[in-house]
Amino acid sequence: MTKTAPKGKKRRRWITRRRFLTVSAAGGGALALGFVVGPVVGRYRRQSAIRATAEATGAFQPNAWLVVHPDGRIVFTLDRVEMGQGTMTSHPMLIAEELEVDPRTIEVEFAVADRRYTHPEFGLQITGGSSSVRTSWDQLRHAGAVAREMLRRAAADDWGVPVEECAATDGTVVHAPTGRSRTYGSLTRLAAEQPIPDPPLKPAEEHTLIGTALDRLDAPMKVDGSAVFGIDVTIPGLLNAAVIRPPVQGAAVVSFDAGEAEGRPGVTAVVEIPTGVAVVAERYWQARTALDDVRVEWSGGRPDLDTQAMTEQLRRLTAVPGKTVRDDGDAEAVLAAAAGDYLEAAYDLPHLAHAPMEPQNCTAHVEGDRCEIWAPTQVPGVAQAAVADALDIPRENVVVHTTFLGGGFGRRLVADFVVEAAHLSRRIAGPVKVIWSREDDMCHSMYRPQVRHLLRAVLDEDGTPVAWHHRVAAPSLLEAIVPQWLPAMAPDAVPDVMTRGLSRVAGGVFRGDWVADPTSTEGASDTPYAIENLRVELARHDPGVPIGFWRSVGHSHTAFAVESFIDELATAAGRDPFELRRELLRDAPRNRGVLEAAAEHAGWGSPLPPGRFRGIAQHFSFETYVAEVAEVSVEAGRIRVHRVVCAVDCGRVINPDIVHAQMESGIVFGLAAALKQRISYVDGHVEQSNFHDFEMLRMNEMPEVEVVIVPSTEEPTGVGEPGVPPIAPAVANALAAATGRRIRTLPIEPALSA
């Protein structure tokens, strides 16, 4: 199958999700998104404001994150939510490294919705994209260093000595020549008088905290029950509510009969809201059980939604050319010259729910033109803007308090559950907490899209791919999400009518053949494999299913297709799949580094116990490089994953324990999806309803996981999501080695038994 690679075609630059969100030139969407490009103002306070705070309270507050009180308390405002990924530990470590304090002495508060905490890349207050440490790495260290230097100078002025003779250590400033010392708390007023410096940051060799395995700061409160998740919120006069939701996507209430529900103990109201009919009661279970007594008549919606029909639509879309998103060399010419002598495979991946352990919930209290929210949201700014728009009140009149999140995985990047609670609070004129049941959460989610990949490749005489053609059919996540986010991105000075107009335009950017959504092809369009003729195309699919970002987003499906197909090419060429990858990663040293580390620690090529087989996969996502080797066996038609070795290069590591935990978390999350999970539609409704038919991995199914951190001096990158993408192809590749059967449709267990 030797083919000559055509010459002279210019390589096109492909667009990434982050690049689109920050520098896109896509019409109206770019105009709106361009509002937030550039530095975020207001995080560092003016000298006069610092002095005024000290005069009024005695506290020293040099920036939006840090307050030192006269009694010595140090309070850090965490502007990224804590949903299990470790920000409540890693971020105080960054501050403490430069402030020269023990992070365990820092009190952590969650930020309310506030533009001072706007994400420097996404342009709104958000926790997502595995970006929390990466984007806070310089900011928080600098914030700590500024505070430290102002405290040192305060002590030096007080003692009348050179600042160079004063050292900050363990929350005090010490004058070594005389042995004098002052606590930070005793210096707050003097520090507020100091000019704001721009100090250099400590070099890596002087770090005493960064790189250490500090115990999680949130663990004790989660163990003793003092941590407040959204579902734990309580305020005076609070009522609880459950909602009857449409039986099919998009249906609307025609009428309802409360029946005996209003007479049940504790029930205070049965009312219609935009999302259905709510039962309000003193306690949640009173409201929940009363739902059975309410009869609702529905109309409209999408009873035509059907997974099998969507699968056929995706097949038709991948049968014809799509929009080109990468075009190196001339893959089509090489394929044409091969005259059918090429390899082809199609991979199908289902809709998936996020299924966080804490279902959606929100507490809202609307009083007149003001609203207060308590919610486990990943996007406080979006929630604030959405509630303001829904209630037609000024944005500054909406206060959003963020709680602990019992898992996010991207589901809480939209504010539907927040707006719902606000509507209900206004309707009943009082504070209310709306709690979704597991069935609500499963059947009314924002799903990971159903996707199909079609790949073709030509091999030369050495079994090396010389042409690679990849066609993806998928819905546009940005078309669905960006219009919801834009109101939170636009400056306060932009009229609401303009913001709404720009939102509509931004969503329309991805329709037709204008802009290809980079979230659909990330991990495919930026593949690191050195293949001279490589073409990637995208066909937009719009079946009408609500979709959203799911942990690792597009990488969750592109990695399965790319890494499975590489293995298929290796098998066809009679080559070792590790060695083929290693050769094709010659221009990607960090990809190759994790591949080699995972293979070495897994004993790639060494004998295994009888009946066990290995599979390997590597992937780059969220600026982080991960490779995984899965060791499996198949008995009585069932697959068992015994061991997973994961090698990760995430740049400089803040806390290795968090890296280990997040890699393990990503593996179990991705493994459950790969083996068991899918969301399917029949006659417009979701078939799955709870964990009995959308299964999680059980404890006795969990493999042994070994995480290898590849040392690096590069800037830190993300770890919340990159562990997910490689696990499905690693397991599928091991299964192919075990059985000779290639599974190209997820989840694996139903496909294996088919």
- Residue pLDDT, tens place only, 674-733: 999 999 999 999 999 999 999 999 999 999 999 999 999 999 999 999 999 999 999 999
pLDDT on residue 95: 98
Buried b (16+ CB within 10 A) or exposed e, 607-625: eeeeebbbbbbbbbbbbbb
8 A C-beta contact, residue 626 and residue 648: yes
Q: Tokens 């562990």 appear where?
A: 723
Q: Is 481 exposed, middle or buried (0-12, 13-18, 19+ CB in 10 A)?
A: buried
Residue 14 confidence (pLDDT) above 60: no
Domain topology for 230-302+360-435: Aldehyde Oxidoreductase; domain 4 (3.30.365)
Q: pLDDT digits over 295-317, tens only?
A: 999 999 999 999 999 999 999 99
Whether the per-residue pLDDT at 187 is higher than 60: the answer is yes
pLDDT score, position 6: 44
Confidence tier at 660 by pLDDT (50, 70, 90): very high
Distance of CA 587 to the CA centre of its chain: 28
Secondary structure percentages of the chain, helix, strand, coil, to 5? 35, 25, 40
- Digit-coded pLDDT (tens) for 373-432: 999 999 999 999 999 999 999 999 999 999 999 999 999 999 999 999 999 999 999 999
pLDDT of 283 > 70? The answer is: yes
Q: End-to-end alpha-carbon separation of the chain, Å?
A: 33
Contact (CB, 8 A) for 410 and 131: no
pLDDT at 315 (0 to 100): 98
Distances, alpha carbon 125 to alpha carbons 144, 382, 484, 678, in Å = 21, 7, 13, 31
Listed in order, the ranges of the chain carrying CATH 3.30.365.10 are 47-215, 230-302+360-435, 321-351+448-753
Residue 574, sorted as left (phi over 0), alpha (psi -120 to 50) or beta, turns out to be left
Amino acid type, 75: V
| pLDDT above 60 for 19 | no
Query: Which of these, 622, 651, 654, 635, lies nearest to 726 by C-alpha position?
Result: 622
At residue 303, φ and ψ (nearest 5 deg) are: -65, -10
CA distance 456 to 331: 9
Q: Which residue has the tokens 């001339």?
A: 330
DSSP 51-112: HHHHHHHS-B--BSSEEE-TTS-EEEEE-S--SSSSHHHHHHHHHHHHHTS-GGGEEEEEPP
321-351+448-753 placed in CATH 3.30.365.10:
yes
Q: Which of left, alpha, beta for 48 (phi over 0: left; psi -120 to 50: alpha)?
A: alpha
| Interior/surface letters 86-100, b for 16+ CB within 10 angstroms, e for the rest | bbbbbbbbbbbbbbb
Q: What angle do CA 444, 432, 356 make, to 5 degrees?
A: 35
Assigned token pair, 685: 């409704």
Residues 6+ apart with CB under 8 A from 316: none
pLDDT digits (tens, 9 = 90+) for 458-472: 999 999 999 999 999
CATH number for the segment(s) 47-215: 3.30.365.10
Output 753 or 493, whichever has higher pLDDT: 753
**Residue 20 C-alpha from the chain's centroid:** 17
Lowest mean pLDDT among 23-32, 520-529, 531-540: 23-32
Q: Where are the beta strands (DSSP E) in 404-521?
A: 432-435, 451-459, 465-474
What value does the mean pLDDT take over residues 85-96? Answer: 98
Mean pLDDT of 71-87: 98
For residue range 188-220, list pLDDT tens digits in order.
999 999 999 999 999 999 999 999 999 999 999
Quote the CA–CA distance of 31 and 479 in Å, as a whole number: 16
As a residue count, the chain comes to 754
- Work out the percent of the chain whose per-residue pLDDT is above 90: 89
- Whether the ω angle into residue 380 lies within 30 degrees of 0, i.e. cis, is no
Q: Which residues contact 122 (CB under 8 A, 6 or more apart)?
A: 18, 21, 22, 36, 128, 129, 131, 485
Question: Greater confidence, 432 or 20?
Answer: 432
Distance of CA 180 to the CA centre of its chain: 48
